Amino acid sequence: MDFISGETFYIDKPYGWTSFDAVKRLRGVILHRMHTRKLKVGHAGTLDPLATGVMIIVTGRSTKLIEQLQAGVKEYVATLKLGATTPSFDLETEIDATHPTAHITRELIDSVIPGFVGTIQQTPPAFSACKVDGARAYKMARKGHEVNLKPKTLVIDLIEVVSFDPDLMELTLRIVCSKGTYIRALARDIGEALGSGAHLTALRRTRVGDVSVDSCLSIDQAVELIRNSPVTLPEEANSSQLS
């Protein structure tokens, strides 16, 4: 493997890990393998800690492709709990309000969903990595500060109802969308449209561009691959560039 020229890893990010955790884990193994302390390692598209699925990690010169890789269409499978809201729109924070759900039927859901397909305006969650006056929104939100974010234009190509459990008031959706879509914010907005509120209880990114989660490695598999593959060391890379 030539980590300086650039390698790409397709990872199935574990639940509870931040995107930085995944990058840090692979970077540490790579640096140890190369006997060096410096190498660019980055990821193409952040996943929330409570989400799992496709994450693309690149090294060396391949980090220049991050913007291109991030631009790929994303596919998610999301589970929403209807009738309750949280400040973060997911399980990171506790339920802050509950709402009636007796009026919610599959027919109502099918009538509401099409309103979120196409080019839409979406206000990002306060608990997000968006910056406000140079500070990350989630840091301000966790301190109890009010966060005002502007709506962004994005494209949702498809929302398909996978299942709806009227007893548990759980709605599972398959979503195909553009870069920059916050599925937590989509859960919030769908809940509001249903007149009940909602929050995200599970999220899995199943595709980024042409990369599906079925072709991804676990973190442990990626670590073993790095440890057991032939590696071009910095001195060898510099020598090949000069020859």
Which two structure tokens, joined as six digits, stand for 61? 């010169």
Give, as one character, the DSSP assignment of residue 196: S
Q: What pLDDT, on a 0 to 100 scale, did the predictor assign at position 208?
A: 95
Q: What pLDDT, on a 0 to 100 scale, did the predictor assign at position 243?
A: 37
Q: Check: CB of residue 23 under 8 Å from CB of residue 42.
A: yes
Q: What pLDDT, on a 0 to 100 scale, did the predictor assign at position 14?
A: 97
Which secondary-structure segment (H or E) carries 155? strand 152-165
The three-point CA angle 195-196-197 to 5° equals 110
Give the whole-angstrom CA distance, residue 18 versus residue 137: 16
Give the residue ranges of the chain where pLDDT is below 70. 126-149, 236-243
Q: Which amino acid is at 243?
A: S
Give the whole-angstrom CA distance, residue 53 versus residue 19: 11
Q: What is the pLDDT of residues 203-212, one digit of tens each?
A: 999 999 999 9
Q: What pLDDT, on a 0 to 100 scale, did the predictor assign at position 237?
A: 54
Name the active-site residue from 48, 90, 110, 210: 48
Give the whole-angstrom CA distance, residue 226 versus residue 180: 31
- Which value, in Å, is the radius of gyration of the alpha carbons in the chain? 20
Which two structure tokens, joined as six digits, stand for 225? 């691959």
Q: What pLDDT, on a 0 to 100 scale, did the predictor assign at position 26?
A: 97
What is the four-CA torsion angle of 95, 97, 102, 107, rounded to 10 degrees? -70
Q: What pLDDT, on a 0 to 100 scale, did the predictor assign at position 37?
A: 87
48 among known catalytic residues? yes
Q: What pLDDT, on a 0 to 100 scale, did the predictor assign at position 150?
A: 78
Number of Cα atoms under 13 Å in the Cβ half of residue 106: 10
Burial class of residue 186, CB neighbours in 10 A (0-12, 13-18, 19+): buried
Instruction: Name the 3-class secondary structure at 2.
Output: coil
> Pick from 221, 184, 209, 205: which is nearest to 15 by CA?
205
Predicted TM-score (pTM) of the model is 0.88
The counts of H helices and E strands in the chain are 7, 13
